[in-house]
């Protein structure tokens, strides 16, 4: 199995962590989707990473679909509950975490534009999405919907999203008012799967 990705993508990190936690062997094919010359489109016509190429030649994208595919392999530990509604809730939490990654990515891309072309309004819009979503996740931990001390699809996705915010220094004060999320990331970041997938220092 081959994972096509880049070392800085939080979506790719989510999939790498899932594979590492389950002990599923994979080769990492490093592709930079934002480089002019890249081979991503041969795996995903959208030109985005991650994509997962199976030994049977099937190619899966995007990351929530890859996560579902990995779960279908039935390799312990399970990362999603069996009960359908609980599974759907967990995937919604994944979706919320993915949305934080999306907003973070837009904010980073915006900042990479020449200063004169950068939009303050767009920056603010994305930061508000991130802030609201972090508040919602904090609330979900407080009410027990999201279990901060468990290793599952939701907690992994949340830790990858916050890892990306830290890496790109977006929303640097996020931890000041969200103690439950701090505990979640502290727990997850101690795991070998997270240590092995830390984004490279710039």
Ligand X SMILES: N[C@@H](CCC(=O)N[C@@H](CS)C(=O)NCC(=O)O)C(=O)O
Interaction between residue 105 and ligand X (CB under 6 A): yes
Q: How far apart are the first and last CA of the chain?
A: 29
Which residue among 21, 98, 156, 193 contacts ligand X (CB under 6 A)? 98
Interaction between residue 104 and ligand X (CB under 6 A): no
| Burial of residue 174 (number of CB atoms within 10 Å: 0-12, 13-18, 19+) | buried
Which residue among 4, 20, 49, 159 contacts ligand X (CB under 6 A)? 49
Interaction between residue 47 and ligand X (CB under 6 A): yes
Q: How far is the CB of 14 from ligand X (least distance, A)?
A: 8
Q: How far is the CB of 10 from ligand X (least distance, A)?
A: 6
Which residue among 20, 21, 43, 50 contacts ligand X (CB under 6 A)? 50
**What CA–CA distances, in Å, run from 81 to 78, 84, 121, 155, 157?**
7, 8, 40, 13, 15
Strand order in the sheet with 51-53: 27-30, 2-5, 51-53, 59-60
Taking CB under 6 A as the binding criterion, the range among 45-53, 68-76, 81-89, 139-147 that sits at the site for ligand X is: 45-53
Q: Which is nearer to ligand X, 63 or 155 (CB)?
A: 63
Q: How far is the CB of 5 from ligand X (least distance, A)?
A: 8
Q: What is the secondary structure of 87-125 as a DSSP string?
A: HHHHHHHHHHHHHHHHHHHHHHHHHHS-GGG--HHHHHH
Interaction between residue 63 and ligand X (CB under 6 A): yes
3-state secondary structure of 36: coil
**What CA–CA distances, in Å, run from 155 to 4, 124, 127?**
23, 26, 21
Taking CB under 6 A as the binding criterion, the range among 61-69, 85-93, 110-118, 134-142 that sits at the site for ligand X is: 61-69
Q: How far apart are CA 6 and CA 108, in angstroms?
A: 16
The dihedrals phi and psi of 30, each to the nearest 5 degrees, come to -80, 115
Interaction between residue 16 and ligand X (CB under 6 A): no
| Contact positions with ligand X (CB under 6 A) in 156-175 | none
Which residue among 4, 11, 140, 151 contacts ligand X (CB under 6 A)? 11
The contact set with ligand X (CB under 6 A) reads 9, 11, 33-34, 47-50, 62-64, 98, 105
């Amino acid at each position: 199995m081959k994972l096509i990705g880049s070392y800085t993508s939080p979506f790719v990190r989510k999939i790498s962590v899932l594979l590492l936690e389950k002990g599923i062997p994979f080769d990492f094919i490093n592709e930079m989707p934002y480089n002019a010359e890249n081979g991503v489109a041969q795996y995903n016509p959208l030109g985005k990473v991650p994509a997962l190429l199976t030994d049977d030649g099937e190619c899966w994208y995007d990351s929530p679909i890859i996560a579902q595919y990995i779960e279908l392999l039935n390799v312990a530990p399970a990362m999603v509950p069996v009960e359908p509604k609980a599974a759907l809730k967990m995937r919604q939490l994944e979706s919320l975490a993915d949305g934080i990654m999306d907003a973070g990515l837009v904010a980073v891309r915006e900042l990479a534009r020449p200063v004169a072309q950068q939009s303050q309004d767009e920056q603010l819009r994305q930061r508000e999405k991130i802030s609201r979503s972090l508040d919602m996740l904090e609330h979900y931990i407080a009410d027990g919907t999201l279990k901060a001390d468990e290793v599952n699809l939701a907690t992994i996705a949340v830790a990858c999203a916050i890892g990306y915010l830290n890496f790109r220094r977006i929303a640097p004060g996020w931890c000041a008012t969200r103690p439950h999320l701090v505990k979640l990331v502290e727990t997850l970041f101690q795991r070998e799967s997270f240590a092995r997938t830390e984004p490279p220092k710039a």
